[in-house]
Each structure stands twice: as structure tokens, then as C-alpha cells.
Amino acid sequence: QLGNTTCELHLDDQGSWRMPSHFAHYPYIVRKCRPPPPLTLIDDLPTVLSRTRNRCSLKSYRGTVSKMENLPASLENLNLAIASDQQAYVCAEGLAKLKHTMPNLKEISMHVRVDVDVLSLPPLPLVQVYGGSNVYLYLSGVGEAETAWATAAAKTLLPRDGTELGAYRWLVFPSSRLTRTTTEELLRQLASADVRVEGEIVVSSRAPVTWKHRAELNVLTKHLMPDCAGFVWRKSDDKLGFGW
């Protein structure tokens, strides 16, 4: 159907943890080209790649860790849901080899829900930072009882640059149940665990927090984490970019 058209292909796996389980084997293909072909449902990733390898360049993949095998070197954006993946421990070696298998990778996003046993995840480092890659971590559903879990998750998945500890571009807490007080405690725990964030720490929560309190949280964040660009409080998950 694509003929000789050169295009970019973006793969959106419907098996993410916010999707019904019966969609797990239906990757959703969005091809960017002129004129755009119709959207297509294909149930086998190797088939997708073999059909399009000579005509399309796969630029982004969004889905579970267990389905990231055999992704091509052209990939630039990797958006992974670890929460729904019961085989996350099997993929540690593959994640550690991203530097060699995906040299064009520019951005890695990892999404972990609060019910995941982060301490059972594989030995560090999961992700090697290289070539200006941006690593974003989204920890979903964190509340007062889960601040220790969130700290452990951020510490466990902290990227490395060679043998040196790296930093997250963003550390985001979507759909959280955090309050001002518990957020302060979380920030102190993250700082004590040496979790580094170069960009912003973002909390999405419906808890009542005044603009004054938001400013105070921003000051506290910069005091505890001098390398951090600041703190942002949001009332909803809109425009957070994680898209699950």
C-alpha cells in the first residue's frame, strides 16, 4: 500500500497498562507521510517491521517492555510501560544494551504504576544514558503511603552515564494523591537517596495547594536538589506528555 513512499512510522502498542488486556496483541500503527495511508491494525511486530523496513523508518515505539525486542536502530523515541509487564526482569539485558542497539535514540520514557514491586526489578543500571538522551520517569498513583515506594522506584531506575550516576530529565507523579505535606516528605526522601533531576519535578494532584505553597515547594526543591530546574504542581494529568 505504501508503494515507494518514504515515511516515518510510529508504533503505539495498545497493550499498555491503561488498555484492556484483550488489546495486548494489537499494535497500533501511525504512519507519517504524504499523503497519509489509512491507519492499520497489525497483530505482529516482526511482520510490521519486515513489511515496512525498506519503505519506512520506525521513529518511536510506545508499549510494554516485553514487546520491545527486534526494534530497529532507527528508533529515536522509546516510551515504555513497565507497570503491566510481567516479564520486565527478562528485558533488563536488552535495556542495558540500548546504547549499542539504538544509536539514534534521543528520548526514553518509563512508566511505572504504584502496584509494581520495584525492588524485584533487575540489577542496575537498566538504562545507559548516552549521546544527549533524555530519560523521563513517570510514577503513577503515589499517595501518602507510597512515598517510600516512589523513592525506591526512582533510585532503582536511576540512569547511569558509564559508571557515574546520571539524572532524569523529568520526574513526574501523574494521578497522584499527594498533599503539600506528603510532597515535602517525598522531596526530602528523594534528595536523601541521591536521586538527581536536571529538569523539573512535576506532581499532578487534586489536593488543595495554594500558589504560595507551590512557590514554597519550588524553593524547597531547589534547596534540596541544586541541579533541579524546579518544581511544578498541576491539578490534572493534562499536558504531562506521558499519554497513557
Tell me which DSSP letter residue 26 carries: -
Percent pLDDT > 90 in the chain is 31
Q: Which residue has the cell 525498506?
A: 54
pLDDT at 220 over 50: yes
Pull the grid cell for residue 24. Answer: 495486548
Distance CA 42, CA 141 (A): 31
pLDDT tens, position by position, 166-213: 789 899 999 899 999 999 999 999 999 999 999 999 999 999 999 999
pLDDT tens, position by position, 103-153: 777 888 888 888 887 777 654 344 555 555 688 899 999 999 999 999 998
Distance CA 82, CA 140 (A): 11
pLDDT tens, position by position, 39-70: 343 434 555 555 555 555 667 777 766 666 66
Strands 7-13 and 27-32: antiparallel
**Residue 79: Cβ-neighbour burial (10 angstroms; 0-12, 13-18, 19+):** buried
List all residues 6 or more positions away from 51 whose beta carbon is below 8 Å from its beta carbon. Answer: none
Pull the grid cell for residue 93. Answer: 539485558
Q: What is the pTM of this model?
A: 0.75
pLDDT tens, position by position, 66-84: 666 666 777 788 887 775 5
